[in-house]
Amino acid sequence: MTPAIAIIGGTGLTALDTLKITRRETLSTPYGEPSSPVLHGELGGRAVAFLARHGPHHTLPPHKINYRANLWALHRLGVQWVIAVAAVGGIRNDMTPGVLAFPDQLVDYTWGRGCTFFEDNLSQVTHIDFTEPYCGELRERLLHAARALQLDARESCTYAAAQGPRLETAAEIRRMERDGCDIVGMTGMPEAALARELGLRYAACAVVANRAAGKAPGVITMVEIERNLVEGMDKIKSLLIQAILMLDGGR
> What is the signed CA dihedral for 5, 62, 191, 216, rounded to 10 degrees?
90
Total of domains in the chain: 1
Q: Which helix (H) or strand (E) holds 224?
A: helix 222-245
Q: Tell me, what CATH number does 163's domain have?
A: 3.40.50.1580
- Return the pLDDT at 12: 66
To the nearest whole number, what is the mean pLDDT of the chain?
Answer: 92
How far apart, in whole angstroms, are the C-alpha atoms of residue 136 and residue 37? 28
Average pLDDT over residues 161-187: 97
How far apart, in whole angstroms, are the C-alpha atoms of residue 23 and residue 211? 38
Q: Which amino acid is at 225?
A: I
Contact call for residues 149 and 100 (beta carbons, < 8 A):
no
Q: Look at 8-17, 187-196, 202-211, 219-228 and tell me which has the smallest mean pLDDT.
A: 8-17
pLDDT tens digits, 218-246: 888 888 888 888 888 889 989 999 999 88
pLDDT tens digits, 135-153: 999 999 999 999 999 999 9
Average pLDDT over residues 158-171: 97
How far apart, in whole angstroms, are the C-alpha atoms of residue 107 and residue 193? 12
Average pLDDT over residues 177-184: 98
- Return the pLDDT at 164: 93
Contact call for residues 141 and 246 (beta carbons, < 8 A):
yes
- Return the pLDDT at 2: 64
Q: Look at 36-45, 103-112, 194-203 and tell me which has the smallest mean pLDDT.
A: 36-45
Q: Name the residue range of residue 162's domain.
A: 5-250
pLDDT tens digits, 40-87: 999 888 899 999 999 988 899 999 999 999 999 999 999 999 999 999
Q: Is residue 250 scored above 80 in pLDDT?
A: no
How far apart, in whole angstroms, are the C-alpha atoms of residue 217 and residue 182? 19
Q: Look at 35-49, 78-92, 93-107 and tell me which has the smallest mean pLDDT.
A: 35-49
3-state secondary structure of 172: helix
Q: Is residue 249 scored above 50 in pLDDT?
A: no
**Helix axes 136-148 and 222-245, enclosed angle (nearest 10):** 100
